Structure 1
Amino acid sequence: MTAAIARETTPASEPMVAVRGVTKIYPGGVHALDDISVDFPRGKLTSLLGPSGCGKTTLLKIIAGLLPLTSGEVLIDGRTVTGPGPERAFVFQDFALMPWATVIRNVAFGLELRGVAKAEREEVARRYIRQVGLAGFEEKFPHELSGGMRQRVGLARALSVNAEVLLMDEPFSAVDEQTRRKFQEDLLDLVARERKTFIFVTHSIEEAVYVSDRIVLLSRRPSSVAEVIEPAISRAGDPDAIRRDPVYLDTVDAIWQSLKHYLD
């Protein structure tokens, strides 16, 4: 890789999420993950990138506490993960909205499960509905929204519970290219504003380089960490300028060169 593309550096502080020697073997013998160890810095967005079927979503669900690991350990802010927890929120690829509930009810649902009073949870929900650009749609139902709007509802729901870690499983894959680019720009604003820890699964090299502070490249299954890259890209100013930045273009090409031998 070129000198402008930074490889992994030593974190300045304890990571928000630490994966230590994680192995996952499914019933039937499918060996998905093999001894994965990687840190996810607090307040940053880290993408998981690798060949199709390499276990990106498996690792994300293990971090979420939705899937048991075979061996190893996951730590969130120094505490061992034993299942789902309020410090983590998951944004699903297929939106996972309740079709019978309005936008505001969907967004407030996590707070409702926590027993937050209706007035308070709706106030929080309205704030995040505005933040994701859906003000005025509070009383609409999912079937009345476009795919992009439904994904914004899912993101607002994850933000409303004020989790420290947001886990995003290919959240933009079901929308058209124009909407996807707008979402990517919005995500950069969100990371800067919220200062939460984002772990983002994507199949797109270009998307990973555009949105990420850090990219974890996974190998073919059984997956291990092939490389960790920190794109040396300035994200201040015009977001469109990032895609024209020579460092962005060089990083995309370098990652492609690293990954393509897994596709042979």
Structure 2
Amino acid sequence: MSQIKPDARQGAAPADIAVSVRNVSKVYGDVQALKDLSLDFPRGELTSLLGPSGCGKTTLLKIIAGLLPATSGQIEVNGKPVTEPGPDRSFVFQDFALLPWASVIRNVAFGLELRGVAKSEREAIAEKYIREVGLAGFEQKFPHQLSGGMRQRVGLARALSVNAQVLLLDEPFSAVDEQTRRKFQEDLLQLVQNEKKTFIFVTHSIEEAVYVSDQIAILLPRPSRVSEIIRPSSFRNKGVDNIRRDPEYLDIVDSIWASLRAYVE
């Protein structure tokens, strides 16, 4: 694995950076959540934000999404400053955030519907991503007829269908059982490979972060800043069945736990 100083440009040329966070701070009243945080997210890769509870992972994700303003600093997506939500970013919420009165296909196509895409076109796109997340045959079902894991797949398909170049995932697998979570992780690796999009993934799970990530940014407790950037190297192309047995995978998991143990209450 390679470990990179958090204040470095991470060795990537600007053209290879999809999202750039520069000296971002966020203050809520008398609480400073983020302080001068800088981080680059390489294009076409999955970066996990990992750290103890309350360290600002979701806050940073929402600032990148344009859902929260930064107190200071700047976020750029594809070289353009972020001032509000935009079609270049799509958010997958922890609690699914589906329309309960809409079918699976309408939920998936809803972002396209808001953009005025014709019904036949948006449904064709929605069907593609419904198949891609493993929900073929459930197009006309409603959220209450689906399991938690299936509802989260609908949310992921909806995020993919609008063709945003940056997907922001806020603990998307936290509400599902362990078996479903492992299958999601395998599917996510395939999506990253197939879609060539930039994924920013918030998780509390060290094992999950190491399993799915091209890059892991470890955030320290507030005021949050990046303490370490890890880029796994030896197991990324060995196939989903071999990652968890790889010595580097096990070493990184142990190393991250050693770094974070002192901050767990």
1:75-224 aligned within 5 A: 75-224=76-225
Distance 1:252 1:238 in 2: 18
Structure 1 letter corresponding to 2:39:
V
For residue 18 of structure 1, the aligned residue among 17, 20, 31 is: 20
Q: How many Å apart are 1:237 and its aligned residue? A: 4.3
Ranges of 4+ aligned residues in structure 1 off by more than 6 Å: none
The 8 Å contact of residues 21 and 72 in structure 1, kept in 2 or not, is answered as yes
Distance 1:262 1:227 in 2: 15
Compare 231-240 and 46-55 and name the one that shifted more. Answer: 231-240
Cα RMSD after superposing both structures: 1.0
Q: Does 1:234 align with 2:235?
A: yes
Can you give the 5+ residue segments of structure 2 that lack an aligned partner in the other structure?
Answer: 5-9
Distance 2:33 2:236 in 1: 34
Q: Call closer, same or farther: CA 1:34–1:251 in 2, change over 3 Å.
A: same
Count of matched residue pairs: 259
TM-score, with length taken from structure 1: 0.96
Q: How many Å apart are 1:29 and its aligned residue? A: 1.3
Please state whether the residue corresponding to 1:239 is helix, strand or coil: coil
The 8 Å contact of residues 50 and 204 in structure 2, kept in 1 or not, is answered as yes
Q: How many Å apart are 1:263 and its aligned residue? A: 2.5
- Which residue does the alignment assign to 2:7? none
Structure 2 letter corresponding to 1:20:
R
Q: Deviations over 1:5-27 (max 9, x none)?
A: 2112411443100000000001x
Q: Call closer, same or farther: CA 1:78–1:13 in 2, change over 3 Å.
A: closer
Q: Deviations over 1:135-165 (max 9, x none)?
A: 1100000000000000000000000000000
Tell me the percent identity.
Answer: 72
The 8 Å contact of residues 235 and 249 in structure 2, kept in 1 or not, is answered as no
The 8 Å contact of residues 21 and 73 in structure 1, kept in 2 or not, is answered as yes
Q: How many Å apart are 1:234 and its aligned residue? A: 2.3
Distance 1:208 1:152 in 2: 19
Please state whether the residue corresponding to 2:229 is helix, strand or coil: strand
Please state whether the residue corresponding to 2:187 is helix, strand or coil: helix
- Which residue does the alignment assign to 1:6? 2
Distance 2:155 2:78 in 1: 25
Can you give the 5+ residue segments of structure 1 that lack an aligned partner in the other structure?
Answer: none
Distance 2:99 2:264 in 1: 38
TM-score, with length taken from structure 2: 0.96
Distance 1:216 1:162 in 2: 25
Distance 1:226 1:91 in 2: 26
